[in-house]
Amino acid sequence: MHESRLVADLIARVESEVDPASSRVTRLALRVGALSALSAPALREGVEHHAARAWGYAPEVMVDRSVDLDDPGATGVTLDSIQVED
């Protein structure tokens, strides 16, 4: 399934930037491209579920949808920010 691979890639990207075992990830901000077929609720649920399985907890997941058709990320999902608490 395309969505589960995308979610796994997002979680891996977060793990490459922070260590969820030592710094609790409290919030992820994502942006769905204007041309992406993904729904914001499905993406949010998938990220929360995968994070809970991988880290033992789920951060708050905020998902915005871009309307910019010329954005280089218009067909995918962008990780805008990661909020952590030590």
Look up the CATH architecture of domain 2-85. 2-Layer Sandwich (3.30)
How confident is the model at residue 2, as a pLDDT? 65
- Per-position pLDDT tens, the chain of length 86: 468 899 999 999 999 999 888 899 999 999 999 999 999 999 999 999 999 999 999 999 999 999 999 999 999 999 999 999 97
* Residue ranges of domains in the chain: 2-85
3-state secondary structure of 9: helix
Cα 42 to Cα 1, 4, 74, 75, 81, distances in angstroms? 13, 10, 18, 16, 19
Q: Are 84 and 25 in contact (CB under 8 A)?
A: yes
How confident is the model at residue 22, as a pLDDT? 85
How many C-alpha atoms does 55 have within 13 Å on its Cβ side?
23
